[in-house]
Amino acid sequence: MTRVKVVRDILEANERLAGENRARFDAGRVRVVNLMSAPGAGKTTLLERTISGLSPRLRIGVVEGDIQGSSDAERIERAGAVAVQINTDGACHLDANMVASAVAELDLSALDLLVIENVGNLVCPAEFNVGEHAKAMILSLAEGDDKPAKYPLMFRESRVLLINKMDLAPYVDADPDRIERDARAINPEIDVLRVSCKTGDGLQGWLGWLERLVQG
């Protein structure tokens, strides 16, 4: 019982801080996406493509979450967006307090869209609200088509699923139709986009989804 109470207290404290973050985002008129995936699914490459595809129509900032290192934030800055690095030093997700500290370094009035690139993990990031307006997730086709059944919470919490690395479809034993079917069984409202961040195929759907989020 003690452990359950501690976990509940942590989540409740996080929700309060997430609400403060959300109020700050709304006051700054910036829309925020919490981008989640397993390691190596293609989050940073997607963001590089996104920055290129939406500039100069949208002003984009990125909060970059990693256990260690800053190479992804450096890639984002080279792509042309402002980036703030968070190193969790072992924690498997970002929480609202970490995001609040990073956002304090940003001029939200200079942004239209802020993307929080969460730590690569298919479990913990979905459990912690950070104040975002929408959760999005990427699943690499190479990870296999059983992931919705194994990690349902992330699919339930996300508003959009990008099935990435579709260029590998001839070479991997994974069925994107099964992924989409199982994801929709968990979350009937989820948008599903099939993309290749390597080739650029399908990314116009993602860019349009982001533009509608910002305009809405």
Tens of pLDDT along the chain (216 residues)?
565 554 565 678 999 999 999 999 999 999 999 999 999 999 999 999 999 999 999 999 999 999 999 999 999 999 999 999 999 988 899 999 999 999 999 999 999 999 999 999 999 999 999 999 999 999 999 999 999 999 999 999 999 999 999 999 999 999 999 999 999 999 999 999 999 999 999 999 999 999 999 998
- Looking at residue 89, its pLDDT comes to 87
- Looking at residue 6, its pLDDT comes to 46
Q: Cα separation of 189 and 185, whole Å?
A: 9
Check which CATH number belongs to the domain holding 179 and give it.
Answer: 3.40.50.300
If one counts the domains in the chain, the total is 1
Kindly list the distances between the CA atom of residue 164 and the CA atoms of 16, 20, 141, 176, 182, in Å, as whole numbers in the listed order.
34, 33, 6, 10, 16
- Looking at residue 73, its pLDDT comes to 95
Tell me the three state secondary structure of residue 89. Answer: coil
What is the DSSP code string of 133-182?
SEEEEEEEGGG-TTHHHH-HHHHHH-SEEEEE-GGGGGGSS--HHHHHHH
Beta-sheet strand order (sheet of 31-37): 82-87, 60-66, 113-117, 31-37, 134-140, 160-164, 191-194
Strands (E), the chain: 31-37, 60-66, 82-87, 113-117, 134-140, 160-164, 191-194
Instruction: Record the tokens describing residue 143, joined without a space.
Output: 């990870």
- Looking at residue 11, its pLDDT comes to 76
Domain hosting residue 83, numbered range: 2-215
CB neighbours of residue 192 within 10 Å: 18
